[in-house]
Amino acid sequence: MSNTEEYVASVLKTIKRRDPNQSEFHQAVEEVFESVVPVLEENPTYEEHAILERISEPERIIQFRVPWYDDAGKLHVQRGWRVQFNSAIGPYKGGLRFHRTVTESIIKFLGFEQVFKNSLTGLPMGGGKGGSDFDPKGKSNADVMRFCQAFMSELGRHIGQFTDVPAGDIGVGGREIGFMVGQYRRMTNFHGTGVLTGKGIGFGGSLVRPEATGYGTVYFMQAVLKAKGERFKNKTVAISGSGNVAQFAVQKLNQLRAKVVTLSDSSGYIYDSEGIDNEKLDFVFHLKNNRRGRIKEYADKYGVEYHASSRPWEKKVDVALPCATQNELNGSEAQMLVDNGVIAVGEGANMPSTPDAIDIFLKAGVGFGPAKAVNAGGVATSGLEMSQNSLRYSWSFAETDQRLKDIMSNVFSAVADAAKKYGKEGNYVVGANIAGFIKVADAMIAQGQYA
Ligand code: NDP
**pLDDT tens-digit readout, 71-84:** 999 999 999 999 99
**pLDDT tens-digit readout, 304-332:** 999 999 999 999 999 999 999 999 999 99
**pLDDT tens-digit readout, 367-423:** 999 999 999 999 999 999 999 999 999 999 999 999 999 999 999 999 999 999 999
Predicted confidence (pLDDT) at residue 46 exceeds the cutoff of 70: yes
Closest listed residue to residue 204, CA positions, set 395, 345, 60, 438:
395
The pLDDT value given to residue 190:
85
Mean pLDDT of 266-284: 98
Amino acid at 361: F
Residues 184 and 237 in one domain: no
Residues 244 and 362 in one domain: yes
The pLDDT value given to residue 194:
82
Residue nearest atom 28 of ligand 1, based on CA coordinates: 324
Residues 328 and 230 in one domain: yes
Residues 111 and 258 in one domain: no
Predicted confidence (pLDDT) at residue 362 exceeds the cutoff of 80: yes
**pLDDT tens-digit readout, 280-293:** 999 999 999 999 99
Distance 149 CA to ligand 1 centre (A): 22
Residues 236 and 300 in one domain: yes
Of 320, 352, 369, the domain-final residue: 369
| Percentage of the chain lying above the pLDDT 90 cut | 97
pLDDT band at 450 (very low <50, low <70, confident <90, very high): confident
Residues 187 and 219 in one domain: no
Residues 362 and 216 in one domain: yes
Contact predicate 281/259, CB 8 Å: no
The pLDDT value given to residue 193:
77
Contact predicate 305/268, CB 8 Å: no
> Does 427 fall in a domain?
no
State the Cα–Cα distance between residues 69 and 91, nearest whole angstrom. Answer: 33
> Does 406 fall in a domain?
no
Closest listed residue to residue 28, CA positions, set 97, 91, 92, 116:
116
In 272-410, where do the E strands start and end?
305-308, 319-322, 344-346, 367-369
Residues 185 and 216 in one domain: no
- Domain extent for 257: 212-369
Contact predicate 7/52, CB 8 Å: yes
In 87-213, where do the E strands start and end?
92-98, 126-132, 164-167
State the Cα–Cα distance between residues 226 and 228, nearest whole angstrom. Answer: 5
Query: Can you give the length of the chain in residues?
Result: 451
Q: Using the CB atoms, write b or e for 213-226: b if 16+ within 10 Å.
A: bbbbbbbbbbbbbe
Q: How distant, in Å, are the alpha carbons of 243, 246, 292, 297, 298 from that of 286?
A: 11, 14, 8, 11, 11
Of 369, 394, 421, the domain-final residue: 369
> Does 44 fall in a domain?
no
Residue nearest atom 40 of ligand 1, based on CA coordinates: 378
Name the average pLDDT for the chain.
97
User: In this predicted model, which residue has the larger pLDDT, 382 or 194?
Assistant: 382
Residues contacting 446, CB < 8 A, separation 6+: none
Q: How distant, in Å, are the alpha carbons of 169, 206, 216, 432 from that of 79?
A: 17, 30, 32, 32
Q: Looking at ligand 1, which atom is closest to the CA of residue 117? A: 43
Distance 170 CA to ligand 1 centre (A): 4
The reported pTM is: 0.97
Contact predicate 114/85, CB 8 Å: yes
Predicted confidence (pLDDT) at residue 444 exceeds the cutoff of 90: yes
Mean pLDDT of 30-37: 98
Closest listed residue to residue 439, CA positions, set 447, 449, 428:
447
CATH code of the domain in which 356 resides: 3.40.50.720
> Does 169 fall in a domain?
yes
Residue nearest atom 21 of ligand 1, based on CA coordinates: 266
Q: How far is CA 182 from the centre of its chain?
A: 25
Residue nearest atom 46 of ligand 1, based on CA coordinates: 265
Residues 285 and 170 in one domain: no
pLDDT band at 298 (very low <50, low <70, confident <90, very high): very high
Predicted confidence (pLDDT) at residue 192 exceeds the cutoff of 70: no
The pLDDT value given to residue 372:
98
Would you state the torsion angle of the CA atoms of residues 10, 16, 19, 22, taken in this order, to the nearest 10 degrees?
Answer: 140
Q: Looking at ligand 1, which atom is closest to the CA of residue 245? A: 25
Residue nearest atom 13 of ligand 1, based on CA coordinates: 324
State the Cα–Cα distance between residues 375 and 353, nearest whole angstrom. Answer: 14
Burial class (CB in 10 A: 0-12, 13-18, 19+), 398: exposed
Work out whether strand 367-369 and strand 319-322 pair parallel, antiparallel, or are unpaired: unpaired
Distance 349 CA to ligand 1 centre (A): 7
The pLDDT value given to residue 261:
99
State the Cα–Cα distance between residues 428 and 414, nearest whole angstrom. Answer: 10
Residue nearest atom 4 of ligand 1, based on CA coordinates: 243
**pLDDT tens-digit readout, 113-165:** 999 999 999 999 999 999 999 999 899 999 999 999 999 999 999 999 999 99
Ligand 1 pocket mutation pick from 325, 375, 411 by most atoms within 8 angstroms of CB? 325
> Does 38 fall in a domain?
no
State the Cα–Cα distance between residues 62 and 236, nearest whole angstrom. Answer: 44
> Does 414 fall in a domain?
no
Q: Looking at ligand 1, which atom is closest to the CA of residue 209? A: 40
> Does 430 fall in a domain?
no
Of 329, 353, 369, the domain-final residue: 369
State the Cα–Cα distance between residues 322 and 263, nearest whole angstrom. Answer: 10
In 209-341, where do the E strands start and end?
236-240, 259-265, 268-271, 305-308, 319-322
Q: How distant, in Å, are the alpha carbons of 88, 221, 324 from that of 321?
A: 31, 9, 9
CATH code of the domain in which 145 resides: 3.40.50.10860
**pLDDT tens-digit readout, 198-243:** 999 999 999 999 999 999 999 999 999 999 999 999 999 999 999 9
In 312-401, where do the E strands start and end?
319-322, 344-346, 367-369
CA geometry: angle at 309 spanning 257 and 136, to 5°?
Answer: 85
In 156-235, where do the E strands start and end?
164-167
What is the 8-class DSSP label of residue 172? B
CA geometry: angle at 55 spanning 49 and 59, to 5°?
Answer: 110
Total domains present in the chain: 2
Residues 159 and 229 in one domain: no
What is the 8-class DSSP label of residue 274? T
Distance 27 CA to ligand 1 centre (A): 19
Q: Which of the following is catalytic: 117, 129, 235, 252?
A: 129
State the Cα–Cα distance between residues 308 and 268, nearest whole angstrom. Answer: 4
Residues 98 and 183 in one domain: yes
Q: What residues line ligand 1, using a CB cutoff of 6 Å?
A: 99, 101, 168-171, 173, 213, 241-246, 265-267, 323-325, 328, 348-350, 375, 378
> Does 21 fall in a domain?
no
Predicted confidence (pLDDT) at residue 180 exceeds the cutoff of 80: yes
Q: Looking at ligand 1, which atom is closest to the CA of residue 324? A: 7
User: In this predicted model, which residue has the larger pLDDT, 1 or 20?
Assistant: 20
Residues 181 and 256 in one domain: no
Active site annotation includes 316: no
